[in-house]
Amino acid sequence: MYKRSEGFFKGYQDINLFFQIWDNPEARGTVIITHGHGEHSESYHRLIKAFENDKWSFYGWDLRGHGRSDGRRGYVAEFDDYCKDYKIFLDMVMKEEKVKKGPVILYCHSMGGLIQLKTLLQNSDIDCTAMVISAPLLGLTVPVPAFKAKGAGILNKLLPQITMGNELSNDMLTRDPDVIREYEQDALRHTRVSPGAFLGFLDSFEFVNPRANQLKKPALVIVSDADPVISTSAAKALYEHLGTTQKELYVYPGGKHELINDTIRQTVYADIKKFLDGFLESK
């Protein structure tokens, strides 16, 4: 059983950011979760519960403008503000003695993947053991209306704090009707995105995609064969260009965007567990 605790830390420019810990007293390794756009750290309770009899502790945090963290929902002045927050969080967690004693896995999903990959590329001193990369946002499948795409630059100059809908629906995230109902009742989820965040996606694609070969940590990439939100082909290209030979790719036919909350989640959990446990066995 986990011993759960929570708190806040000061992110970039002193914003209050929420985090929580699921501490397994028998843990031999640590997983640090960075969630995607519109969700929050509590969205991973199914995944974490699936590991409660294993040897891992989990840390999760809520991005600025998400979950229980401060900030206007979906707003960020610069995309790199997320990266700066993430670096602060990693520095805080990795200083803990119990974390230092075993492997540290950086788990990311969707926009959290873009944040994690960009942060690692910007900070060569981050020393993790491996990565799990779930449906990384390195290109979009969901159609963005032309007026939003073309007007984002103007809006970012004139009304930078405005937020608009992100075109996502819950049936793009999961095929499980019970999970969809849960999402519909989840007051911490949102569907807002600011022009600065959208423009930051595009700039960050250009930064991360050509530098994938600089990412040399062991990695597991998981993605649907036809993700309705992010580009499956971009996720596969990331895998192909990663600068490590210790990498695995799992492509799930028919899966939706949030594979760990989809109807095939038990298979996904087993695949993640197999990858993670390999790092416990090597210790």
Pairing of strands 56-61, 247-252: unpaired
Residue 231 has pLDDT above 80, yes or no: yes
pLDDT of residue 158: 45
Taking the model in full, what pTM does it have? 0.94
Q: Is the pLDDT assigned to residue 147 strictly greater than 50? A: no
Strand segments, DSSP code E, in 110-152 are: 130-134
The chain-wide mean pLDDT, for the chain, equals 92
pLDDT band at 155 (very low <50, low <70, confident <90, very high): very low
Lowest mean pLDDT among 42-46, 57-61, 91-95, 167-171: 167-171
In the numeric block, which tokens belong to residue 279? 């790092």
Pair 103, 283: CB distance under 8 Å: yes
Question: Which of the listed CATH numbers 3.90.180.10, 3.40.50.1820, 3.40.50.620, 3.30.950.10 matches domain 3-281?
Answer: 3.40.50.1820
pLDDT band at residue 157 using 50, 70 and 90 as cut-offs: low
Residue percentage of the chain with pLDDT more than 70: 90
Mean predicted confidence (pLDDT) in 62-87: 96
Token pair belonging to 83: 């990266």
Q: CA 250 → CA 42, 43, 240, 259, distances in Å?
A: 24, 21, 13, 11
Q: Are 244 and 124 in contact (CB under 8 A)?
A: no
Paired tokens of 159: 């009304």
